[in-house]
Amino acid sequence: MKEEMFAELLESVREGMAILRGEAEPSRVFVFEGPDVKRIRTQYNLTQSEFAAMLGISVDTVQNWEQGRRSPQGPARVLLQVAEKHPEAVWDVVGAKARDAA
């Protein structure tokens, strides 16, 4: 590795450690908003129990998401984004039975 590149890398590591210790402010911060689970559920006109069953998760999980105690992560977050933007795809996958039950 060239000396100049190593010096830049070393400076980046030092800067990162200073930020982690609270001695410096990051140059930028990224904030990602999670999906609004309650709004998505109400768009489907489903109860928490029905929504949980449709997604294959527990009612407790839906309640925790809606009350802000937890937030959807990983595949659940992606599934909720699909449910929000493409409800017809979700209904297609879960079938007419789920829609009729709602």
- Token pair for 21: 């210790």
Q: 27-62: per-residue pLDDT in tens?
A: 888 887 789 999 999 999 999 999 999 888 999 999
In this predicted structure, what is the pLDDT of residue 97? Answer: 56
Backbone angles phi, psi at 101, to 5 degrees: -70, -30
- Distance (Å, rounded) from C-alpha 60 to C-alpha 37? 13
- Token pair for 71: 């937030």
Does pTM top 0.75 for this prediction? no
